Chains A and B, each alone.
Chain A
Amino acid sequence: MSTVAASTLSHGTATSLPPARKSRRRRRPVAEFLSTYVFSKDHKVIGLQFLFSTLLWFLIGGLLALAVRWQIAWPWSDVPVLGKLFAQQGGQMAPEFYTMLFTMHASVMIFLVIIPILAGAFGNFLIPLMIGADDMAFPTLNMLSYWFMWPAFFFFGGSFFVEGGAASGGWTSYPPLSTNMNSSPGMGMGQTLWLLGLTMVGVSSMLGSVNYMTTIILMRAPGMTMFRLPMTIWAMFITAILQAFALPVLTAAGFMQITDRMLGTGFFSPEGNVVNNGIASTGGGQPLLWQHLFWFYSHPAVYIMILPAMGMVSDILTTFARKPLFGYRPMVYSIAGIAGLGFIVWGHHMFMSGMNPALGITFMVSTMMIALPSAVKTFNWLGTVWGGRIQFTTSMLFALSFVSMFIIGGLSGIFMAATPVDIFIHDTYFIVAHFHYVLFAGTAMGVWAAIYFWFPKMFGRTMNEFWGKVHFFLTFIFLNGTFFTMHILGAVGFPRRLADAYHYETFHHLQPLNAFMTYCAIGMVATQVIFAANFFWSMFFGPIAGRNPWNSNTLEWTAPSPPGHGNFDFQPVVYRGPYEYSVPGMEKDHLMQTDPPNALASAAAAHAH
């Protein structure tokens, strides 16, 4: 077996597309096209379907953010482009339109972009390849997990066009605002569609998570012990566990909200509650119940939205620092620690909610402690970079910026965790700064690092490095211009979700700063044109990559680029952990997981790839 592996490696060239697929496609074009590219059960195709869908929604979410920023910077001024679409409002943005915009910006970014791009796109594409499996454990479930996203796309997308517009109760959808149809425009059909869309995203995630757990537990290649798994896989594994345990709560809560709205069950409304002179609720419920159930999912979901990026960044950092990961086991344990503690910190979203303040103290202590594993991870990343031989590729720059920005996002979290300070900065731009540093400057930068890194494996070609660096540079500058300033805005107490805050004495002087941030945000979205052009141009015209363009160690780099159906053209056998870079006494500076141990000399011969 090992000789097969070695010989395949040494011959490994880029152009080896599986011939079988091509010839079959010629025979039965339509059916073949559908089963290969549309209703495919191949994890790589499903991963790419997720990637393209989520990138499209990323664009939509970004444009929604620009519209939000426009209103904050220049309230009630005519909105370019969008103003013409909503001509009945005379080109201005109505306040209910503004509330809808930020609600849908957050909902789209969280439920249709970040969660599916990490677990759906990269989880799907990478898990079988990195553990040496030929596919997922349940290919049909896998296909369904993608196709359950489409109802969600229709529910979320379609809700913009129903009467009253899309949901406008914030992405947290707090009742009674969200359960009472009279409370605001957008609380009719739009909110119902939002809840249905959320349920579909939940079904999709659940199907994915069951699949990932089973695949990682049962389908690892010979020799791939749990502690030889790359960090990406560890992160995906623990993320899948988080989803499996947290999601049912949200799904149940979502159904309760639907029945509150449609059947008048009153889980979340107190007795006789009247909103906007509507009909009194029969009630008997508690608005805080929703917050507990919602955050019991949505706080672990915060880690679902960052852990996979942490894992991928760890793999990218080691590759381009040419150095083993510093503290592999502490890294694994800290991910597990984050996941475990992640279940008992949800109350820190509710310090001001009216929840018993004594309970707030216990949540404060657990929240303070969850900063610890994050700190350990950061120190280990720094330790990984220390003493390395750093190659400043685009992918590495994005991965380094993940570390740099995650430090900011992690540290700003401590302010909110401190309950007395939270009294002042809760629901201000300080929290907006915090989660954008974690989710955009962290996760999104990690996703870009991953796209530049695994693009060669996905499409057999590398992306353009020069334009990649231009993309990185501008995104990095503009994102800090947009989000760093939010910290000082939050220090003034500038509240989030206000269509116009300048009529308050406390906030009237903050418009120029907001205008600056909006200019940066426009620049940031515009920069993504460079990325889109690079992405599509490189798909077809980029330089041919070869199996292992970055001289990386993990299993996916032993497969052809792109891998054919079944992934590997040989049975991968794993002999060591994934981070054996710069091993002393070796001619080449990396030792792949499949390189046989008796072949220190023959590995040197394999330096051709």
Chain B
Amino acid sequence: MAWTWFHRLGSPPHVYALAARLTPWFAWPAAALILAGLYGGLVLAPPDYQQGDDFRIIYVHAPSAWMSLMVYVTMAVAAAVGLIWRMKVAHAAAASCAAIGASFTIAALATGSLWGRKMWGTYWEWDPRLVSELILLFLFLGYMALRSAIDDLQRADRASALLAVVGVVNVPIIHYSVLWWNSLHQAPSVMKLGKPDMPAAMLAPLLIMLVGFTFLFVYLLLVRLRGEILRRERTASWIREALAE
């Protein structure tokens, strides 16, 4: 009984319609939250006593890094669902994640590099968190490359799904690397158990941005997923109705 919602998610027309309905519920809040976060981070938050205004990069860097990890985990979970339950929709969802994840990983690396230039005096350091984030980028690119290299869609789905699942071991490494190795990158100040270290006026815009980016990801995923489903469901008759709207 409780599983009907799950099995209904295996039906492409159902997911297509559901995604269309949900899209505005994520698009508008995402826009509002991100704008609010930008204002809060750039204008309202006081300058850091150590880094001055340079720390404001956190309001774009942390959400990008968070995106890169969240998108990869989502991709891996969708891939696993697709492999285990052989759900085409799950594979379509995983495929939709890849480009989003790769682009935000690049954003995280680039903004981190700019921030690091002033903080550590260098654009790049071979420290564990930076290296594992770079590895994450390679994982996304590898996933996309594998998909495009295999002609048969079903085999491409399953092969890239396996790759995504195997690569998920990198995610905890990225997150915990700053604890396991004493290194350049600062230790987690938000995502740790107990109270975060930042004062409220600095923390609030950050949390707003993190939530806003999360909503943004769901919005992007829903839009791309609809396109993927349409591309895959070539012989289905429900498309006629779906396109009429």
Decide if A and B are genuine partners.
Answer: no
